[in-house]
Structure 1
Amino acid sequence: KAVEPTACDLLQTRLDIWADLNAITLLIYLIGIILLSLLAGLVPAVLLSHYHPLDVVKGTFRRKTKAVYLRALYVVQSGLTVAMLTCTLYLSAQIYRILREPLGYTYGHVLDYPAMTVGSSEKIRLFRDEARKKPFVKNVCLTAGTPVNRGNNNTTQLYDSNGIPQNVSFQVFRTDSVFLDIFHIQVFDDRKLPRKWGNMYFSESTFDSLQLDYARTAELRNEYGRQYAVGGRYADIKFGSILLPQSPTMISVEHPDKVRPWNVLVETIEGDQAAYKRELDALFSEVVEGIPFESKWYADEMTEVYKDLLHMRTTIVAFTCAALLISLLGLTAMSIYFISQRKRDMAIRKVFGSSAGMERARLLRFSLLSLLAGMLLAVPLAWFGVRQIDGILHYSPMAMWGVFGVAFLLVALISLGSVCLISWGAVRENPVNHIKTE
């Protein structure tokens, strides 16, 4: 019940434990508990029901349960835990890389207003002029498209260096010159062409895809004879999600009064961003005369692009933490059982001169060897899980061995630490307490 709000958010649904609690759900819970209990008791029950009295008298059965079954359980449990933790850490590392992938542009505090909902270019320009008067406003840009909403697609055939037409899919941004300043896009070799309607700047991949030498390319021609004068070039920028296929981009810088904007971008200075947004929203609402709108910070729009990815990470991390807790509790329980079985052996060795430190080292060696064996099981499982993650993300894979090592170290530290703590009292007990019962 305590985690119900978090579960609702993760699963994107409405949960109400108390409201859904009825005779049927209670019966399902009870049946589930009974089945789990029977399953958990099945293995030891089968082992005990097949023992031979002579094995018990000779101690063979005790040695078998200690040496074979316990180690097998320990190996499987630790191997599954390491593999599961590896996949979670790998996914988190990949998402970290995705969110910090260089975009080819940067931005500060940029507020995005949807100009298309207003229906009047005069009102948008009035808002631009009034917003510029605010002391906290650095820039105001009118643009048809932003990198996050991918602008407009224009697929055409352009002639390459050999005069052969090639399909080129452009993402086009028709905007004013402030666009370059807000997103800190540097135009290399701005030719400043004397064009009435503005200049066209192309990303570097445009010339690479057509095998054209930029220095010798004054214009691009398509199959219909249309010419695109090259006003300059800039480094490639990422548009939309970087997980989507990327293609060349074109920025058509036009006179501010000639742009038919889809968006109004307002860049503010450092300060009380919430207050700035309220004041700009009030101004926009006044100018557009109460037409409903929704303004968003550009950073929040970028986060929304990866909303599903972030939600998947949060969900997997949450379930992994729960499973990891259960798994580590299982490792601790097996450590307690293992140490309790070894008390008689420790007592006999201590009578013949063994010390508490030597006994603790024996226990740790058993756990460490079991963990190393579990690592052999974890490698193929982790590799399979990582490949599945790469298939979902479609992002450049990274070596999994770093996160695998971290996962193994975490499980080893917790497992060996629990053995150390649990054995602290056992290795110091008086050996007479265990030998006198034999």
Structure 2
Amino acid sequence: MHHPTPPKWADRFLCWYCRTDLLEEIQGDAYELYERQCKSKGKFRADLAFGWNVLRFFRWSNLKRRTSPYRPAMMYKNYFQVFKRNLLRQKAYAALNIFGLAIGLACFVLISLYIRDEMSFDRMHTKSDRIFRMHEILESEGVGERSASLPFPVAEALQVDFPDQVEQYVRFFNFQSPALAMSTIDHEKEFYESRAFFTDSTFFDVFDFNLITGSKATALDHTNSVIITQSMAKKYFGDTNPMGKYLVFQGEHNLLVTGVLEDVPQSTHFQFDFLISFSTLTHYYGTSWPGWYWNPCWTYLLLRNPSDAPVLEAKMPAFIRKYFPEEIINDVTLTLFPLADIHLQSNHDYEIQPNGSMSTLYIFGCVAFFVVLIAGINFINLSTARAIKRAKEVGMRKTLGSYKGQLITQFLFESVAVCALAAVVAVGIVIAALPFFNTFAEKDIPFSTLLDPFFVAVLILLPLVVGIFAGLYPAFVLSSFQPITALKSASSGEKGLMFRKVLVVVQFSLSIILLVGTGISMDQLMMLQKNDTGFQQENVIMIQTLRTPVAQTFEAIKAEFKSNKNVLEVTAVEDVLGAKHQVGNYSFDVMEKTRPIPRLNVRHDFLKTFDIPLVAGRDYSEEIYTDDSLALLVNEQLVKQMGWTNETAIGKSFNGRLNKQIVGVVKDFNFASRHQPIKPLVIDLNLNPRAFNLFIKYMAVRVSPDDMNSTISFLESKWEEQYPGWPFEYFFLDSSLESLYKAESKLSKITIIFSALSILVACLGLFGLSTHTVEQRKKEMSIRKVLGSSDAEIFLLFTKRFFVLILIAIVIAFPLAYVLMKQWLSTFAYQVDIDFVIFVLVGFAALGIAFATIAFQAWKATRTNPATVLKND
């Protein structure tokens, strides 16, 4: 059918203009209008009208193009429509891409939430930059203690001597007891409380904890006053107002409730439920505090300026010489530690509660980075692999007049849009997983934290960065093709092949490093928890006895307990064996002066209860009445440091108030955490009943594993008969010692979970790439089958390229993993030997997972009918 031709100059101008702006619909409308006018008005008048309309349109569009939002909006609407069509056309790949990246982003956000929470400890106080805790290091020749606490008089003397630096101080004290008894006045509710402290009335001058009821100025001013938290108010008084009511402390002192605090946030390096006025201690120590040797007080200083800390530390040697006992002044060092650094960087003895670890956070940070990097690589790999499928589209668009800049914008827009969807899915995953993560990580991170500017920025910038990198290849490489080249290259699968191979190798290398690290960290944890510590820790029940009536009737309750056939041995000990110890000053024959040496006060049958072997001499004997005053047991490490042999050590004297002699040498055992090497130890028999007020904190009862419940019930009944009104509080020693390695346990659990997720993400990418490869090479495989290749040969051909990449990843990852884990293990006093079986297992696991991932696609490739493929192609 013949169509009238408009004026040549106007026609060419309109074609050029509409082509460059992708406005083909305007060109079509102009031709339709011209044809109608030719029929109604004649060709001459139609030509004039066509030319005029073209000029008028050009003038209007140039004026409006830069000021009207319609044009950019229409352009991005077009981008969005193309993006939506591609997304719906390739649902499987879109799901793989979005879900894989969402998992990586969610892992990164969850670990970041954990790290941010750990680093926020103690920063809620407005004066946190001026608050320092003072530490005492008492060591001689590397033996002694690095204590987080100080003697009673230190704080007051510091403020008196250095008023220009020390504005205020506050101390915390709890008799160095694991728990203290508290009850209502009618004794209906009686509990041991592990978070009860005596503290100075200056508490609120230093810290900003919120007092709901009561006066901060006077709540701790008077003797026998106590502030309790909301939880304790509910626990002891129910819905009744606790103000003005009494609690009974240790069964002997009535404490008046003068305030109710908000529950202490978890983001503080120590938790408390009861704050008792420091002046209440006059009931126990009179008007003068214990001296300058015993160091049971955690002491915090509020400095006038943060820069005063080094000035004050420089004055400590003179301060020590002025006040501390002569025998220890050369062994004592006093240091200041910033409040905000305590939780992650203080690893001193006698911490109020276990702290976190900065090195653990570094590892978690690396895990988060690895997982999000693996997810990003996976996204980029799939995006670039699929991009070549759009070469024909690029050719058609360029033929129709699209600019290179418009194509770049289109591809980047689509890539960023997919990443934005992944970010939305990631937020959903985080919201769903956060309650479980809080339980697992022992945190209380609220959902509102996700609205923090940092996490908002993460959820915007990370997808944006990944989207831009993923869109760079199709945006700049494909858009640079000449139309004829793009159309010819539409079916080529080799574009960017080397780039994708490198990404797969990097991706699996990171995953393998995480898997190896997980295996070695689990081995290290098992070694710390389960390896022989040198003493019996299974089936040992520890009963709290400090400042209880046990002091007067220990032998009686011991006999009552041992009347049960399932009770094997009973003793008493100063601290939790394998976790804590105290330090005493000792001077043996070969020593010129006293030295601080780790010490344990014990009762008879200590070695029997914990099954600690003697290597020389004898044990303490109940038949030798002078053992508690004239005999000592020591360990092999002390003998070695003194330059003796085990046999020659017997009879060596300790120069103290009494001339004690070594009567036995015990085999070395881990009396402290296995984070530390075994040090010299003195085991001191203390039969003084008053020792239960300070030096003896626990009864240790070793029982038969048979019928454990009835044995515990028996012990509880005998306890209640002997000590009515005193709660029977116990724990199993092995369970308690496991808590010492909480940081390593948490590290192992988190790396297991996120390593598994990293492998899942990597496999999603591998599945996507294998599917893409099947599509790209289906014609080649069909021709090979027609030419006689077997299914096995086709299967091998398909899987070989992926297996080679995994093997390269293994070769790269193993040395890196070994170096990294060797460096991490060097931070432990006891290190597990790196088991190369782990490397073998991880290698086979990586190959097996890769095989399982691509096997279906490989099998699918072998089952394809060549005739169908070649006919369709």
Q: Using structure 2 for the length normalisation, give the TM-score.
A: 0.45
Structure 1 position 414, deviation (Å): 0.7
Aligned pairs for 1:19-30 within 5 A: none
2:531 maps to what in 1?
101
Distance in 2, matches of 1:197 and 1:23, equals: 64
> For the residues of structure 2 that align with 1:186 and 1:27, how far apart are their CA atoms?
60
Q: Is the 8 A contact 2:529 2:737 kept in 1?
A: no
Aligned counterparts of 2:712 and 2:435: Cα–Cα separation in 1: 29
Partner of 1:399: 834
Residue number in structure 2 paired with 1:341: 776
Q: List aligned pairs for 1:142-181, cutoff 5 A.
A: 142-160=572-590, 165=592, 170-181=597-608
1:38 aligns with 2:473: no
Amino acid corresponding to residue 295 of structure 1 in structure 2: Y
Q: Greater relative contact order: 1 or 2 (C-alpha under 8 angstroms, separation 6 or more)?
A: 1
Look up the equivalent residue of 2:503 and give its one-letter code: L
Quote the offset at 1:286 in angstroms: 4.5
Contact 1:56–1:62 (Cα < 8 Å) also in 2: no
1:45 Cα deviation from its structure 2 partner: 2.6
User: Partners in 1 of 2:547 and 2:728 — Cα distance?
Assistant: 7
- Residue ranges of structure 1 left out of the alignment (5+ in a row): none
Whichever residue aligns with residue 378 of structure 1, its letter is: A
Distance 1:178 1:348, change over 3 A: same
Per-residue displacement from partner, 1:261-296 (whole Å, max 9, x unpaired)?
A: 321112222233234324423432453332346311
Q: Which amino acid aligns with 2:613?
A: Q
Distance 2:514 2:503 in 1: 17
Q: 1:307 to 1:293 in 2, by over 3 A?
A: farther
Q: What aligned pairs does 1:81-120 form with structure 2 within 5 A after superposition?
A: 81-118=511-548
User: Are 1:369 and 2:823 an aligned pair?
Assistant: no
Distance change in 2, residues 1:350/1:383 (3 Å): same
- Which letter maps to 1:418? T
- State the 1:89 CA deviation: 1.2
User: Partners in 2 of 1:210 and 1:271 — Cα distance?
Assistant: 44
Q: Which residue of 2 aligns with 1:208?
A: 640
Check if 1:329 corresponds to 2:767: no
Against the structure 1 CA distance between its residues 6 and 389, is the aligned structure 2 distance closer, same or farther, given a 3 Å change threshold? farther
2:479 maps to which of 33, 38, 49 = 49
Write the letter of the residue equivalent to 2:529: L
Percentage identity across paired residues of the two chains: 18
1:238 corresponds to: 670
Aligned partner letter, 1:150: K
Find the counterpart in structure 2 of residue 137 from structure 1: 567
Question: Is 2:795–2:861's contact at 8 Å kept on the other side of the alignment?
Answer: no
Shift of 1:371: 1.0
Comparing 382-391 with 50-59, greater Cα deviation is found at: 50-59
Matched position secondary structure for 1:276: helix
SS in 2 for 1:112: strand
Contact residue 173 and residue 250 of structure 1 kept, 8 A: yes
SS at match of 1:267: strand
> Residue 649 of structure 2 corresponds to which residue in structure 1?
217
Match of 2:334 in 1: none
TM-align CA RMSD: 3.6
Task: Give me the whole-angstrom Cα distance separating, in 1, the residues matched to 2:612 and 2:820.
Answer: 39
Amino acid at match of 1:122: Q
Q: Secondary structure at the match of 1:145?
A: coil
CA distance in 1 between counterparts of 2:669 and 2:826 reads: 24
1:196 counterpart residue number: 626
State the partner residue of 2:859: 424
- Assess, with a 3 A threshold, how the Cα gap between structure 1 residues 202 and 34 changes in structure 2: closer, same or farther: closer
Q: CA deviation at 1:224?
A: 6.7
Structure 1 residue 378 corresponds to structure 2 residue 813 = yes
Counterparts of 1:151 and 1:41, CA distance in 2: 57
SS at match of 1:230: strand
- In the alignment, what sits opposite 2:79? none
SS where residue 617 of structure 2 aligns? coil
Inter-CA distance 342–165: structure 2 relative to 1 (3 Å threshold):
farther
Aligned length: 434
**TM-aligned CA distance change 1:38 to 1:232, over 3 Å:** same
Amino acid at match of 1:6: F
Matched-pair contact (CA < 8 Å) for 1:169–1:248: no
What is the CA-CA distance between 1:317 and the residue it aligns to? 1.9
Q: 1:62 to 1:227 in 2, by over 3 A?
A: farther
Shift of 1:242: 0.6
- Deviation at residue 27 of structure 1 after TM alignment: 8.2
Secondary structure in 2 matching 1:219: coil
**Which of 749, 753, 761 is the matching residue for 1:318?**
753
For the 8 Å contact 1:386–1:400, the answer to whether it is kept is no
Q: Deviations over 1:91-125 (max 9, x none)?
A: 11111222222211124422111211315511444
Equivalents in 2 of 1:30, 1:245: separation in Å?
A: 45
Structure 2 CA distance for aligned equivalents of residues 285 and 77 of structure 1: 62
Q: Cα 1:215–1:134, aligned 2, differ >3 Å: closer, same or farther?
A: closer
TM-aligned CA distance change 1:159 to 1:428, over 3 Å: same
d(CA) in 2 for partners of 1:118, 1:98? 33
Measure the CA separation in 2 of the matches of 1:45 and 1:400: 45
1:411 shift after superposition: 1.2
What's 2:495 paired with?
65
Query: 1:277 pairs with 706, 712, 724, which one?
Result: 712
Task: Return 333-342 or 150-159, whichever deviates more.
Answer: 150-159
Report the Cα distance in structure 1 between the residues aligned to 2:708 and 2:528, rounded to whole angstroms: 26
Question: Which deviates further from its counterpart, 148-157 or 70-79?
Answer: 148-157
Q: Match for 1:141: what amino acid?
A: T
**Aligned equivalents of 1:229, 1:300: Cα separation in 2:** 36
- Measure, in 2, the Cα distance between the counterparts of 1:241 and 1:390: 16
Map Cα deviations across residues 226-284 of structure 1 (whole Å, 9 max, x no partner).
Answer: 74422122210111211123202232346697975321112222233234324423432
| Distance in 1 (alpha carbons) for counterparts of 2:459 and 2:705 | 57
Which has the higher mean CA deviation after the structures are superposed, 47-56 or 344-353? Answer: 47-56
Q: Which residue of 2 aligns with 1:11?
A: 441
For 1:314, the aligned partner's letter is: K
2:789 is aligned with 1:354? yes
Q: If you compute each CA radius of gyration, which structure gives the higher value, 1 or 2? A: 2
User: What does the per-residue CA deviation read over 1:70-103, in whole Å, with 9 as the maximum and x for residues that have no partner?
Assistant: 3222212211111111111111111122222221
Structure 1 equivalent of residue 729 of structure 2: 294
Q: Counterpart in 1 of 2:358?
A: none
